[in-house]
Amino acid sequence: MAITRNPIKVQHYIDDALQHFSGLDSSDKELHAWAYLRGMRRLGDDDLCRRLNMTVPRISDAPEDPNLADAEHYMYARFLASSSGDVSTKALVLGYEVVKVLTFQSRQEKDLRTDSRFPVLPPSRESVRWGLKGVDAGLEEFKKAHNGGLGKFGSAIDANREFANGQYKRAYSPQRAYRAK
């Protein structure tokens, strides 16, 4: 049975994750909330959750739940934006969607997996909207902590590259996305 997108459920996941870590300062709270949502999608089996000494609820259909995926996208974007103050975080959200479109069109979804056991869900406008909403919330958090200022342009892209290089088994290349099966 396919699970349909529901913005109320997405917001519930986000609010629940943030509430779990409300005692932490902004960027730590958002890192933990993102790890919590990611851990839920991975059925509790996630290295980041282990490093943060965190347990999460196990929900059997979590890896295929688009509402949970949208919440995770929101929280990752919010975490990157709030920790860097970088407006180019929006480019990451949009760029990831382009990569997903190309990868799914070439039937190579498995190349995007950060863990081979769990699927990457198909591209969607809703996921992009949630990601951009997360960026906006994260930038507001950064501004509050930095007298209205923003961070260094491109710093989120650098941070994401370091993080992604540690996760992906094979680096994404546009040539591979166009290769026919």
Q: What's the pLDDT tens digit per position in 27-51?
A: 789 999 999 999 999 999 888 889 8
- DSSP characters over 77-100: HHHHHHHH--TTHHHHHHHHHHHH
Q: Give residue 164's pLDDT.
A: 58
Q: Give residue 158's pLDDT.
A: 82
Q: Give residue 46's pLDDT.
A: 86
Q: Give dist(CA 71, CA 69) in Å, integer.
A: 5
Contact between 107 and 42 under an 8 Å Cβ cutoff? The reply is no
- Other beta carbons within 10 angstroms of residue 62's beta carbon come to 22
Q: Give residue 48's pLDDT.
A: 86
Cα three-residue angle 8-36-18, rounded to 5 degrees: 55
Q: Give residue 135's pLDDT.
A: 97
Q: Give residue 56's pLDDT.
A: 94
Of residues 100, 79, 94, 108, the one with CA closest to residue 180: 108
Low-confidence residues of the chain: pLDDT under 50: 1, 168-181
Q: Give residue 91's pLDDT.
A: 94
